[in-house]
Amino acid sequence: MGKQIDIGRVLANLPLFQQLREGEIANLAAGTREIGLGKGRILFQKGTLLEGFYVVVRGQIKLAFTSPQGNEKVVSLVGPGQSFGEAVMFMERPCPVMAQALEDSRLLHIAKQGIFAAIDHDSAFARRLLAGLSMRLHGLIQDVENYSLRSSTQRVIGFLLQLAGTPGSGSVIFELPASKHVIASRLNLTPETLSRILHSLIESGLITVHGRRIVVQEMARLSQFDDLPHPPCAKGG
């Protein structure tokens, strides 16, 4: 079923390109190529120079780095409608991470030439790009905050609450966006630790788990869950 994609239409529906004029969409589309990527295939390795950025149309892409010892750390999971690689494109430096398809995926590659032209013609577009990069930066800061001053349990809870979305209390059901192995890496945990934490949340009656399907019994209670046996006392700054 190699359904042909209407590149212009897909581009026009991306939040980033919303208010762009037709001529500019066409211009972008001219520099855009479609990429199919089978599950497990690597799109680019760490160190690559990017001549544009990518939009996920279908499937899921994992961004990760690998340590000299061969361990792997997932930085980001990118799903349909989301994009990646903009920052690397603007920096004109080797990409700090690798990109790999977690499922059979379909991507668009948008050449930087068209993006720069759109920036020149439409300063509102430039602002949207700036806002987009800023949001991404904000997400990374949150990651740093999570890694450096939250416990593993708190990180898992935060992740679940984020997936659950609606901050209103009550019970919510949803699916993990990837295998537990990948989720664990994203949260800077080993699969074993993630398994144990989920187990303890289940035992506390806060959630139930069937495969990737999670039911949060009550958001409010989950967000207040505190694990620490010896709460360390605050120190004035």
Partner DNA sequence: TCGGGAACTTGATGTAAATCAAGGCACGAT
Partner DNA sequence: ATCGTGCCTTGATTTACATCAAGTTCCCGA
Instruction: Give 27 or 153: the residue with its C-beta nearer to DNA.
Output: 153
What SS3 class is residue 64? Answer: strand
Contact status: 204 vs DNA (CB under 7 A): no
Tell me how far apart the alpha carbons of residues 59 and 73 are, in angstroms, rounded to a whole number.
Answer: 20
Half-sphere exposure of 162 (CA within 13 A, CB side): 13
2 lies in the site for DNA, by CB under 7 A: no
Q: Which of 58, 109, 150, 180 binds a copy of itself (CB under 8 A)?
A: 150
Return the structure tokens found at 222: 């989950």
| DSSP code of residue 40 | T
Say how far apart CA 191 and CA 231 lie, in whole Å: 26
Residues in the chain: 237
- Using DSSP's 3-state secondary structure scheme, residue 15 falls into helix
Count CB atoms within 10 A of the CB of residue 166: 9
Under the criterion CB under 8 A, does residue 135 sit at the interface with a copy of itself? yes
Angle at which helix 191-203 crosses helix 152-164, to 10 degrees, equals 70
One of 109, 196, 217, 225 touching DNA (CB under 7 A) = 196
Q: Residue 205 binds what, of DNA, a copy of itself, none (CB under 5 to 8 Å, by partner type)?
A: none
Asked if 87 touches a copy of itself (CB under 8 A), the answer is: yes
Binder of DNA out of 180, 208, 215, 218 (CB under 7 A)? 180
Cβ at position 3, least distance to a copy of itself in Å:
31
Contacts of 128 (CB under 8 A, 6+ apart): 16, 18
Nearest-10 Cα torsion for 221, 223, 227, 232: -130
**Nearest distance from C-beta of residue 208 to a copy of itself, angstroms:** 27
Q: Between residue 32 and residue 51, which ones bind DNA under the rule CB under 7 A?
A: none
Q: Using CB distances below 5 to 8 A depending on partner kind, what does residue 142 bind out of a copy of itself, DNA, none? A: a copy of itself
Binding segment toward a copy of itself, per CB under 8 A, in 93-101, 160-168, 172-180, 195-203: 93-101
133 lies in the binding site for a copy of itself (CB under 8 A): yes
**Least CB distance from residue 70 to a copy of itself, whole Å?**
3
Q: Which of residues 174-213 bind a copy of itself (CB under 8 A)?
A: 188
Near a copy of itself by CB under 8 A: residue from 23, 70, 167, 168: 70
**Angle, to 10 degrees, between the axis of helix 123-149 and the axis of helix 152-164?**
140
Binding footprint of DNA on the chain (CB under 7 A): 71, 151-153, 179-181, 188-196, 198-199, 209, 211-212, 228-230, 232
